[in-house]
Chain A
Amino acid sequence: MKKIRIYTSSLLAAAILLIAGCTKRDVSSLQAPEFPKNGDVFLDDFTGDLAYAAFGGSDVRAFQVETKETYNGSRQSMRFEIPDANSPQGAYAGGVFFSRTGRNLSEFTALTFYIKASQAATVGVLGFGNDLGANTYVVNLSNYQVNTNWKKVIIPIPDPSKLKAERGLFYFSAGPENNRGYTVWIDEVKFENIGTILAGQHSIMNGINATANTYVGVNTQVTGIVSSFNMPNGVNQVVGLSTSFFEFKSSNPSVATVNANGVVSSIGAGTAIITATVGGKNATGQLSITCSGAYTNAPTPTRPASNVISIFSDAYPNIPVNYYNGYWQPWQTTTSNDFKVQNDNVLNYTNFNFVGIEFSSPTVNASSMSHLHLDAFFPNAVLPGRQLRVIVVDFGADGAFGGTDDTRHSTTFTTPFLVSQSWRSIDISFASMTGLSRRANLGQIILEGGDGTSLFVDNVYFYNNDPSIAAPVPTRSAANVLSVFSDTYTNVPNTDFNPAWGQSTTVSQIAIAGNNTLRYRNLNYQGTQFASALNVSTYSNLHIDFFSLDATQLRFFLISPGPTERSVALTVPTTTGWNSVDIPLSSFSGVALNNVIQFKVDINTATNGPSVFFDNIYFWR
Chain B
Amino acid sequence: MIAKKIKNKVLQLGAIATAVLTLSSCEKKAEQELPKRNWQLTWSDEFTGTAGTSPDATKWVYDVGRGPNNDGWGNAELQSYTNRTSNVALDGSGNLVITAMRESFAGAGFTSARIKTKAKLEQTYGRFEARIKTPTGPGIWPAFWMLGANIDNTPWPQCGEIDIMEQRGQEPHLVHGTVHGPGYSGGAAITKQYALMNGRFDANFHVYAVEWGEGYIDFFVDNFLYQRITPENVTGKWVFNTPFFLLLNIAVGGNYVGFPTIGTPFPQTMSIDYVRVYKQI
The interface of chain A, by Cβ under 8 A from chain B, is: 193-196, 198, 230, 232-237
Residue pair B198, A233 in contact (C-beta under 8 Å): no
Residue pair B200, A232 in contact (C-beta under 8 Å): yes
The interface of chain B, by Cβ under 8 A from chain A, is: 136-138, 140, 169-173, 196-200, 202-203, 261, 263-265
Residue pair B203, A198 in contact (C-beta under 8 Å): yes
Residue pair A233, B138 in contact (C-beta under 8 Å): yes
Residue pair B199, A195 in contact (C-beta under 8 Å): yes
Shortest C-beta distance, A192 to chain B (Å), equals 10
| One of B170, B198, B202, B265 near A194 (C-beta < 8 A) | B198
Residue pair B263, A235 in contact (C-beta under 8 Å): yes
Residue pair B173, A196 in contact (C-beta under 8 Å): yes
| One of A196, A234, A236 near B199 (C-beta < 8 A) | A196
Shortest C-beta distance, A501 to chain B (Å), equals 77
Which A residue sits closest to B136, measured CB to CB? A234
Contacts of A236 in B (CB 8 A): 137, 263, 265
Alpha-carbon separation in the docked complex, A237 to B265 (Å) = 10
Residue pair B172, A232 in contact (C-beta under 8 Å): yes
Residue pair A235, B202 in contact (C-beta under 8 Å): no
| One of A193, A198, A230 near B198 (C-beta < 8 A) | A193
Alpha-carbon separation in the docked complex, A133 to B265 (Å) = 36
Contacts of B265 in A (CB 8 A): 230, 234-236
Alpha-carbon separation in the docked complex, A237 to B136 (Å) = 14
Contacts of A195 in B (CB 8 A): 196-200
Shortest C-beta distance, B231 to chain A (Å), equals 36
Alpha-carbon separation in the docked complex, A227 to B171 (Å) = 22
Alpha-carbon separation in the docked complex, A195 to B264 (Å) = 20
Contacts of B171 in A (CB 8 A): 233-234
Contacts of A237 in B (CB 8 A): 263
How many A-B pairs have beta carbons closer than 8 Å: the answer is 48
Contacts of A196 in B (CB 8 A): 172-173, 196, 198-200
Alpha-carbon separation in the docked complex, A194 to B196 (Å) = 12
Which A residue sits closest to B172, measured CB to CB? A234
| Besides A195-B200, A235-B137, 13 other A-B contacts (C-beta < 8 A) | A196-B172, A198-B203, A232-B173, A233-B138, A233-B170, A234-B136, A234-B264, A235-B138, A235-B170, A235-B265, A236-B137, A236-B263, A236-B265
Contacts of B197 in A (CB 8 A): 195
**With contact pairs A196-B173, A198-B203, A230-B136 given, residues A235 and B198 touching in the complex (Cβ less than 8 Å):** no
Alpha-carbon separation in the docked complex, A435 to B203 (Å) = 69
Give me 26 A-to-B residue pairs in the complex whose CB atoms sit less than 8 angstroms apart, sorted by A's number: A193-B198, A195-B197, A195-B198, A196-B172, A196-B173, A196-B200, A198-B200, A230-B136, A230-B137, A230-B265, A232-B172, A232-B200, A233-B138, A234-B137, A234-B138, A234-B169, A234-B170, A234-B171, A234-B172, A234-B264, A235-B138, A235-B170, A235-B263, A235-B265, A236-B263, A236-B265
Shortest C-beta distance, B196 to chain A (Å), equals 8
Shortest C-beta distance, A157 to chain B (Å), equals 16
* Chief secondary structure at chain A's binding surface: loop
Shortest C-beta distance, B183 to chain A (Å), equals 33
Contacts of B203 in A (CB 8 A): 198
Contacts of A233 in B (CB 8 A): 138, 170-171
Shortest C-beta distance, A238 to chain B (Å), equals 10
Shortest C-beta distance, B263 to chain A (Å), equals 4
Alpha-carbon separation in the docked complex, A193 to B136 (Å) = 21
Contacts of A230 in B (CB 8 A): 136-137, 265
**With contact pairs A195-B198, A196-B199, A196-B200 given, residues A235 and B264 touching in the complex (Cβ less than 8 Å):** yes
Contacts of B172 in A (CB 8 A): 196, 232, 234
Top 6 A-B pairs, shortest CB-CB distance: A195-B198, A235-B263, A234-B136, A234-B137, A234-B169, A195-B199
Which B residue sits closest to A109, measured CB to CB? B198
Alpha-carbon separation in the docked complex, A237 to B264 (Å) = 10
Contacts of B170 in A (CB 8 A): 233-235
Shortest C-beta distance, B261 to chain A (Å), equals 7
Alpha-carbon separation in the docked complex, A56 to B196 (Å) = 45
Contacts of A198 in B (CB 8 A): 136, 200, 202-203
Alpha-carbon separation in the docked complex, A198 to B196 (Å) = 14
Contacts of A235 in B (CB 8 A): 137-138, 170, 261, 263-265
Contacts of B263 in A (CB 8 A): 235-237
Alpha-carbon separation in the docked complex, A235 to B261 (Å) = 9
Shortest C-beta distance, B100 to chain A (Å), equals 13
Alpha-carbon separation in the docked complex, A237 to B138 (Å) = 13
Alpha-carbon separation in the docked complex, A234 to B264 (Å) = 7
Alpha-carbon separation in the docked complex, A230 to B169 (Å) = 11
Which A residue sits closest to B137, measured CB to CB? A234
Alpha-carbon separation in the docked complex, A234 to B170 (Å) = 5
Alpha-carbon separation in the docked complex, A230 to B265 (Å) = 9
Alpha-carbon separation in the docked complex, A327 to B172 (Å) = 45
Which B residue sits closest to A195, measured CB to CB? B198
Shortest C-beta distance, B98 to chain A (Å), equals 17
